[in-house]
Amino acid sequence: GKRQYNRDFLLGFQFMPACV
């Protein structure tokens, strides 16, 4: 299957601290 991400999931990452 495809890696689908819905909008709320994606928006949740907008201001996450960058990965180490």
Partner 1 sequence: QEIVSPEDYIKHPLQNRWALWFFKNDKSKTWQANLRLISKFDTVEDFWALYNHIQLSSNLMSGCDYCLFKDGIEPMWEDERNKRGGRWLITLSKQQRRADLDRFWLETLLCLVGEAFDDHSDDVCGAVVNVRAKGDKISIWTTDFENKDAIVHIGQVYKDRLGVPPKVIIGYQSHTDTATKSGSTTKNKFVV
Say how many CA atoms lie within 13 Å of 16 toward its Cβ: 9
Query: Minimum Å distance from CB 5 to partner 1?
Result: 4
Size of the site for partner 1 (CB under 8 A): 16
Residues in 1-20 at the binding interface with partner 1, rule: CB under 8 A? 2-7, 9-11, 13-16, 18-20
Query: Minimum Å distance from CB 14 to partner 1?
Result: 5
CA atoms of 11 and 16, how far apart (whole Å) = 10
SS3 15: coil
Q: Identify the H or E element spanning 3.
A: none
Q: Which residues bind partner 1 (CB under 8 A)?
A: 2-7, 9-11, 13-16, 18-20
